[in-house]
Amino acid sequence: MVDTNSTSGMKLLAGNSNRALADAISQYLKIPLTKAAVRRFADMEIFVEIQENVRGEDMFVIQSTSFPANDNLMELLIIIDALKRSSARRITAVLPYFGYARQDRKAGPRTPISAKLVANLITEAGASRVLTVDLHAGQIQGFFDIPTDNLFAMPVIVKDVKDALGQGDHLMVVSPDVGGVVRARALAKRLGCDLAIVDKRRERAGVSEVMNIIGNPSGRSCILIDDIVDSAGTICNAAEALVKAGAKEVFAYATHGVLSGGAVARIQGSALKSMVVTDSIGPTPDVMKCPNIRRISIAPLIGEAMNRISQESSVSSLFD
């Protein structure tokens, strides 16, 4: 827990996207959330009223742009505008989950780069700084024309794996696709275990077909690691392939549990012994009821980073 004397210059404000995480960050920092009314008119226009004086304050706005992504994004922009017009000294947009991050390049002719558009919107609304967790692509930091800190949930995940499964040769970290090898290698290095890769061919968006496994998972407890789990097709197919290849058991970890559509049912009926996600996105009732989905908190990680930003000290040293 941080020293309350070091947080005296901060104020926190939460949108409606993930109040449980905002409350946890508030408790970690021992700072109450700033009173504000965030409501909607009959036609669903968003209205924000800051109910405390914030003139000259160092404000942190906590809001994931998860489902409903457009509503939560608009809420964030209006909160930032309200703070700017209330003469806040600095406004840091804290986005535990940055929506639209998967649209970080032109995937085909005549398509947008929506991640850049959203970065422009947040900047133009009046944010002074952005703090986020495990961006889908690190280069998205370059889309912002303001300082941007990208935190890594890896320390939280490593601790949970060690607590639940230990470490050593009985484990094997598996990347569910070639694109996630760097992330998987980092986890394998911290756990001191081997690495495997699932080679898959994606026929169309949202559908994946596992082709083969690079590595030998036979008799191992396998840990699949990813940044975002949306439809859960890739993770579940990879788990099935690992079991067929002789894996003793399969676990999955992801920073952002988007879990849209039939993802929860898919995970519940899969070969996964457990799916662990952080609380960067608020859980749906289905997620809360699913017996093999477990959530771990990144509130202390975000809270400590916010404190260091406020104190103008190093954030990167959190991961040394």
Positions marked active-site: 200
Q: Residue 90: name the closest of 121, 64, 60, 131 by CA.
A: 60
Q: Measured at the alpha carbon of residue 293, what is the angle toward residues 290 and 299, in degrees to the nearest 5?
A: 125
Can you point out the beta strands (E) in the chain? 10-14, 36-40, 46-50, 58-62, 90-95, 129-133, 148-151, 171-175, 194-204, 207-214, 221-229, 249-257, 274-278, 293-296
> At 134, which amino acid appears?
D
Show binding-site residues for D-ribose 5-phosphate. 202, 226, 230-234
Show binding-site residues for ATP. 43-45, 102-103
Show binding-site residues for Mg(2+). 136, 177
Show binding-site residues. 43-45, 102-103, 136, 177, 202, 226, 230-234
CB 148, CB 132: distance < 8 Å? yes
Q: Is the dihedral of CA 274, 280, 281, 283 positive or negative?
A: positive
Q: At what angle do helices 114-125 and 69-85 cross, to 10 degrees?
A: 30
